[in-house]
Amino acid sequence: MLNSFERPPVKLVIAGGYGCGKTTLIKSVADPDRYVRLTDEPITDASASVDALTGVPEKTTTTVSIDFGRINLSNGTPLFLFGMPGQSRFWSVWDDHTHGAFGAVVVADTRRLDDCFSSLDFYEDRKIPYVVAVNEFDGTQRYRPEDVATALQIDTAKVPVMNFDARQRSDVKDVLARLLEHVMTQLAAQQTVGAGQ
């Protein structure tokens, strides 16, 4: 139950393909002592035959449910972060777990860029504001955000695209701040259109 002085939480969803860094993002930014619930399990021979490890041979665990983390903004507003499992067999639960979300971060991995298209389509179809955060893995080629946007057929005037390192708390905070700024801009634009009708 919320304390009467506590601000209502803001729900954000972290999405993207399998192995792109969603769990790492949440671990990096959330309070590790009280507000992180991760559902990673070791990859077994059975799961290896289902979840393709092409491009991510170093991956040893896989998310089997919804990751959760919490971070408080400086004004006391709690951000609830829900990490969606990227495997296609979990797509059926995306609607339920996205319900009530303020916005989404779609994490992109340039080694497997096609894997984030399902997330992009999902949030576009539901008109949920999102940003694309390109996770820069060690030893991978770096691309400019505008080049990634072109590859994903994204208009950067409508959807922010940025590079980041999911292991770095400061990078993750920048991504979340950019998402909140983007959502507020979208809401202001909708109110302006509504007022003009």
Name residues whose C-beta falls within 8 Å of residue 92's C-beta, 6 or more positions apart in sequence.
Answer: none
State the pLDDT at residue 66.
78
Tokens of 190: 């909708």
Q: Determine phi and psi for 14, rounding to 5 degrees.
A: -110, 115
Domains of the chain: 10-195 (3.40.50.300)
186-189 contacts: CB < 8 A, separation 24 or more?
186/129
State the pLDDT at residue 4.
46
Whether 25 shows a pLDDT value over 50: the answer reads yes
d(C-alpha 154, C-alpha 164), whole Å = 18
State the pLDDT at residue 100.
92
Q: What is the mean pLDDT of the chain?
A: 83
Whether 1 shows a pLDDT value over 50: the answer reads no
Tokens of 187: 């809401």
82-114 pLDDT, tens digit each: 998 755 555 566 677 788 999 999 999 999 999
Bridge-partner residues for 14, per DSSP?
83, 105
Q: pLDDT > 70: what percent of the chain?
A: 73
38-47 pLDDT, tens digit each: 655 555 555 5
- With the CA atoms of 31, 34, 39 and 44 taken in that order, what torsion angle do they form, in degrees rounded to the nearest 10? 90
